[in-house]
Every structure is written in structure tokens, then in C-alpha cells.
A and B are shown apart, each in its own frame.
Chain A
Amino acid sequence: MGMLSFLTGRTFPRGVHPPGLKEATRDQAIRRLPFAPRLVLPLAQHFGKPSRPVVKRHQEVVRGQVIAEADGFQSVPLHAPVTGVVEGIELMPTARGPKTEAILLRTLPGDSQAVRWSSPRDLSGLSREELIRAIQAAGLVGQGGAAFPTHLKYAVPEGHGVDTLVVNGCECEPYLTTDHRIMVEQAQEVLAGIRLALRAVGADQALIGVEDDKPDAIAALQAQIGPDDPIAVRKVKAKYPQGSEKMLIKALLKREVPSGGLPFQVGVVVNNAGTMAQLGRLLPLGEGLIERVITVAGPGVERPGNYRVPVGTPLRYLLEHVGFRGDDASHLILGGPMMGNTVSSLDVPVTKAVSGLVVLPQAQADAAPETIHPCIRCGRCVEACPVGLNPAELGRLAAKRRYETMQERFHLSDCFECGSCAYVCPANIPLVQYFRIAKALNRERLS
């Protein structure tokens, strides 16, 4: 296997091959939409402590201005995505469920919406610490979905040398083409971001992992790499979940992140290609993260494509503008269909880490039969699980509510909920759903 990897492309063991379904959006340039009349900006858009608002009701703000500051190092600031007026700070629905505090911003109609809060600067003289602080000030979080503050990834604990920066350009989720388009159209910014990230994290080399179904992205990136850059593009096999950081590290470097550990323990920091593009664009300009590219796709969308929208744009507005073609029972999925979260409210906004909105009308969503059959011990889930767990056994324990045993003996916490097991299960057992319940209950029990 290993010797033939130059033929088959680098990859990790096991995994699944869902259909890509990217044809509708991958060859279309990124477009802009008109600004939404009202933005919803949750204070907790990132992993860590929520931001602290520094604006008041009825206050006028300009595009790019800081409206909520970072609450300590484990937090990031929030910038105003539009010029407008603060309507208030209220509880608003989120994709996760519980309502959280959000700043409501009414867009000023007729404004040019130019960024009026920036400080272009020369970054060449900055030290590592200064760079990390600048990244935090930009409000940058991982653009792939986890929303982990980028500066926290670079602040590697003492005693752990990081030698490699891995840039994730896999985008293995069906439908999503956000990173693909960014790599094709903004290759220069991606590379600028990688050069800055290399300095901030103190790594020697950067490897960009791109799936082999995106030759145009690979070519665009390669064209931007200078002769002195310690940066290389590596083709990896198009397979799900290739874009999971632990799987990508395994594919590119043959290193294995320890159970329950983080990539820096094997000398690696992983960043999404979209995050690199934001970094390469925002940092030299001294701006904050105020907009992002999101794929809107699926059979329920009239004009699928990649759209650059301000953070905080409500889904209802987005759907109205791309043309909603589904029925009343459509599933609206934030993120990709494998790991994304179905939302229950259209007031939920696009946040910093939302990479896609997939609309599946009822017919598509219901294609899978609802009846759950008993496990026939075929072992397909075991062959699919990328982290090498035994989903069949875990599922059996979950049905008996033995959640603690699942953790203690079968390493439940190593499951990152990619859904490969449920995807291949011929008995239609909702394995990953069981595991999510078990993990939630175990978390509650511990806290």
C-alpha cells in the first residue's frame, strides 16, 4: 500500500466515498450579495470565552470597527460587518440551539459600505508574539467549521516544537466548494497567509493538502509558490473525512496524533485554506474578520454558488437572495451534509465559521428509510471508521445506555462525529447520533 501511494495519492486508512455533488458551484466565481438590512452578531461565534460588547443601543458604528472586544486570551474581538446602528443586544437563536446574546446591527441604507477602520502596516519587523497578538486583534477563527481562534493554535505551549504547518485544502464534504474557489481565486492571499502563519508559529515548512479532484486549485497554488518558499502542495486522495486534521496529518506526514491529544504534540499545526486567505488579506491591512465566503448549494437552491457575505447575515435573507426552491419540509444544513447541523430557525445568522448552507428538499432528505434494523455484525462501520473505533460495539452499548463503558473501554471521546459509520450502515442504525448523545451525557456527568 505505502509503496504504491504515489499512484493512488496519499491518504489515511479506511474512510468512505460519498458523492461529491460539487459540480453546480465549483466552476463559478465567488459573488457578492447585497447587504442584509439587519445583521445578527452572536458574541460567542468562536470556541472559547464570548466577546464583550463595547457598543450601546442606538450607537452608530462604521464598517470594520470593533464592536465587542476579546475577553482574555481565550477569546477574539468582533468587528462591525456593516456601517449602521446598533439596535440592541438580545438573546437570538443559534445553530446549536440555546439562544445566546447577540448584537443586532441595522445596516445604514445608502452607505457605500467601504471599510473605514483599518491600519495598513508593514509586518516584516514583527516578532512572533506581536504577530500572534495581531492575529487575535483581527478576530480570526478557523474558517472550516470548528471556529477555534487561530492565535490560540499558534501559541504553542513551551517545550513543543512545531516543525510543520499543514494547510487543509481538502474540503471533503459533499456540496461545499468554498475553499476550492478561494484557493483558485485568492491563491496569492492564501500563500501570503501561509508565510505569515509560518512566522507566527515558528515552523520550518508548510504543506498544503489538496484533494486530487481539484487540479485547478493545485495549479493556482503552485503558480504562487516562490523558489525560496518552504511551502509545497501535496495531492491527497479525494475521500471522506480527508479534511479532518488528524486524518490529514496522517496522510501527509504519517504521524499519528495521540488519543485525546492535539496536533502540536506531533509538531504540527493545521489551518484551513480559507483561514490562510483571511490571514493573508486582513493582517497587512489591519482589518478585522467581517465577511466570509459561503457555499449555498443543494437541490433546494435556485442559484447555487459561492457568495461573499458579511458575518451575521441571517439565513432567511440568504435564502431569499439565492432563490429557495425547496418545500416546507426542507432540511437546511449549516456546513456540509455529513457533519453539518440542521438549523431550526431562519433567524440563525452566518457566523465566522460557517462554510456552507445546503438545502435538501424533503424528497432528498427522506431518501434514507426511517426504519432502524438490528445490527447484522457486517463490520462495514469498523472498516469505515477513520480513527479505528468499533462503532458496532459502541452502538450496542449506546442502546443499553452504558455511556460510561463506551468512554472507558471503547474510547468514545476519540470519535469526532464524522458520520462515516452511519453513512455505510446497511441496517440504517443512526450510530453517530447515538454517539453524539452519549458524548453530551458524558460531558454533563463530568461537569
Chain B
Amino acid sequence: MASLGVLLAGVLAFANRRLYVFEDPRIDQLEDMLPRTNCGACGEAGCRAFAEALVAGRAQPAQCTVNSAEMNQKIADFLGVSVGSQERKIARLACAGGSHVAATRARYQGLKSCRAAALVSGGGKGCTWGCLGLGDCEQVCSFDAIRLNRYGLPVVDVDRCTGCGDCVEVCPKDLFSLQPESHRLWVACRNQDPQDEAMAQCQVVCTGCGRCAMDAPEGLIRIENHLAVIDYEKNALASPVAIQRCPTGAIVWLEGKESRKGSGARKVTRKEPLPRMEPLPRV
């Protein structure tokens, strides 16, 4: 028995030598400096993968949007590289239709999940493209950055959002997208229906009237399928001028935590949910 033990110990010692994999000890140390949320906002599979990429020089410390700037500076000093620059990206919702402004077509009943509702005939919302308001994004967010407001519309906490993209993936209507902070002109709508139909569905809908496209510098905004689309290649030209005449306030100017509507936008005073737009036939 003892000789068997010695033999196996020898095998282990041999294996330890021959099968040893060298790993940069800095990777472990770096991992301790990273937030360990494994959110994937940096584009790597997780914090350890990001640490490996840092050591290999494939990534820059600033690509971690969860860490504070000081921590990223520490990492840069530790590795002796520059922090690099990474424009902060924030999840933006392309819908403003809460229950007080957007009509419902049918009452959804079932699993309280947008994903489930979307599979049942697209959910009960009047607008085919709009937010279903059941909070899959709120649930999936690891940073507590998304909260549904009283109208069932998700509101992104700009300070907490790390741009990890979990909400982008989970939303069945594809309403979330990661936008650099410098993109301040924003169309909070995806409705492609023509004007009258769109207005019947939602009071803050983009009707594709084209006023913003006329007021903005040439080529910044175009109208596609009854919807204003901003060309962010020309983002430098953007200014709040474009939002001023919007009749519904679908196009907004983002200022920190606030989103500002133009002065021409109809004021929304209603607090209660809208009635159903398509009643069933009466006999």
C-alpha cells in the first residue's frame, strides 16, 4: 500500500512538472481589481477574460465601463499602459408610450413577462412596436439601473447603467440600444404606421410629419416608413432646434437624467390608463 502511495505521488509530481501551464500571475491580481460582475459590456466573455485581454494588450482598461475611473487608472498604472478612452454607452429606450398615453388593443393575461406576451399575438398593446411594460429589462438588469415607472415604462438610471447590453438582448421588441453619451438627439418611438393610425394608438408617437427633418441641418434626420430616423454619423450637427416643433414630443433632447421635449409638444396631463381602443363587437 505504501509503495502504491509512493508510486502515485511520483505520478502526480511528474504530471505537475510536465503538464504545468504557465499563467501570468497578473491575471489573478487584475481580476481582483475588476468588478467581477461578468456583465460583458467590455465585449469579452467575463471579467477574467477581460483580465487576460488586458495582459495580452488586446484591451484597454477604460473599456470596463463598470469600474470607476480611479480604479481603471490604477489598473493602467499596474500594467504600465495608458488608460485609453472609451466613450460611455448608455441603454436608451426607443419608446415613450406608458399606459397613460399609449392605448391597449387587448388585455394580456398570462405569464408576467414581455417575452411571453410578445409570443401571444405580439402582446396587447395598440402599437405593434411599443414597449409591453412587463419589465423583462428591469429583471435582467444586474445593476438595478432600470425601473418601471408608474405607467409601466422602463426608465434607465443613467448613473447606474454600464452599457452591458442585457436589456438590449432581452427586449422582445428590440427597443433598447446602446448609445454613446454624445448622442443627445433621440427619437423615442418605433411606430411605422401612417399618421392617423399611429395617433389612435399613442399620444407621444412619431407620426413622421417631417418637421424635425426640416428644422435640423440637412441630412441629420430623414423620414423612413412614417418615422424620423437620426443619422448619428452627422451627430456633430445635432442641436435642440430639431425638437422644437415636434407636435407629439416623440423626438427629445437628452440632458443628463432628463429628456427634454420641444415647446410645441402637446402636454400630457392624463395619469390613468387609456381605455381599450378596439372594443369587441356587440350583438
Contact = CB atoms under 8 A, between A and B. Distances in A.
A344 B120 contact: yes
A156 interface: no
B112 to A, nearest CB: 10
Among B109, B121, B281, chain A packs the most CB atoms within 10 A around the CB of: B121
Contacts of A95: 121
Given A91-B192, A319-B281, A345-B121, A433 B111 contact: yes
B280 A97 contact: no
B131 to A, nearest CB: 14
Nearest to B128: A99
B281 A437 contact: no
A330 interface: yes
A323 B106 CA distance: 20
Given A91-B193, A344-B121, A437 B283 contact: no
By secondary structure, the B interface counts as: loop
Given A98-B122, A437-B115, A345 B105 contact: yes
Contacts of A326: 280
A346 B278 contact: yes
Nearest to A302: B283
A359 to B, nearest CB: 9
B128 A98 contact: yes
Contacts of A204: none
Among B105, B118, B119, B124, chain A packs the most CB atoms within 10 A around the CB of: B119
A344 B107 CA distance: 8
Interface string B118-139: 1111111100100000000000
B281 A324 contact: yes
Contacts of B280: 319, 324, 326-328, 330, 346
Given A95-B121, A97-B121, A325-B283, A437 B278 contact: no
A96 interface: yes
B278 A440 contact: no
A244 interface: no
Interface residues of A, number: 38
B85 to A, nearest CB: 31
Given A323-B283, A430-B111, A433-B116, A343 B278 contact: no
A342 interface: yes
B118 A97 contact: yes
Contacts of B106: 342-345
A116 interface: no
A366 B107 CA distance: 13
A21 interface: no
B55 to A, nearest CB: 29
Contact of B123 (A97, A330, A433): A97
B276 interface: yes
Interface residues of B, number: 29
A329 B121 contact: no
B282 interface: yes
B166 to A, nearest CB: 11
Nearest to B172: A440
A441 B125 CA distance: 21
A97 B128 contact: yes
Given A91-B193, A437-B113, A437-B116, A96 B121 contact: yes
Nearest to A365: B109
A244 B172 CA distance: 29
Contacts of A442: none
A102 to B, nearest CB: 13
B88 to A, nearest CB: 27
B5 interface: no
B25 interface: no
B283 A440 contact: no
B279 interface: yes
Contact of A97 (B109, B113, B122, B276): B122
Contact of B120 (A323, A342, A348): A342
Contacts of A99: 128, 192-193
A324 B283 contact: yes
A341 interface: yes
B278 A328 contact: no
A436 interface: yes
Nearest to B107: A329
Contacts of B80: none
A207 B121 CA distance: 35
A57 interface: no
B110 interface: yes
Among A97, A329, A436, chain B packs the most CB atoms within 10 A around the CB of: A97
A192 to B, nearest CB: 36
15 contacts: A97-B119, A97-B120, A99-B128, A316-B281, A320-B281, A323-B283, A324-B283, A344-B106, A344-B123, A430-B116, A433-B116, A434-B111, A436-B116, A437-B113, A437-B119
Given A341-B121, A343-B106, A437-B116, 19 more contacts: A91-B192, A96-B121, A97-B118, A97-B122, A99-B193, A323-B283, A330-B280, A342-B106, A342-B120, A342-B121, A343-B121, A344-B105, A345-B106, A345-B121, A346-B281, A433-B111, A436-B116, A436-B119, A440-B115
Interface of A: 91, 93, 95-99, 302, 316, 319-320, 323-331, 341-348, 365-366, 370, 430, 433-434, 436-437, 440-441
Interface of B: 105-111, 113, 115-116, 118-125, 128, 172, 192-193, 276, 278-283
The 7 A-B residue pairs whose C-beta atoms are closest, nearest first, are A97-B122, A344-B106, A344-B121, A437-B115, A320-B281, A99-B128, A343-B121
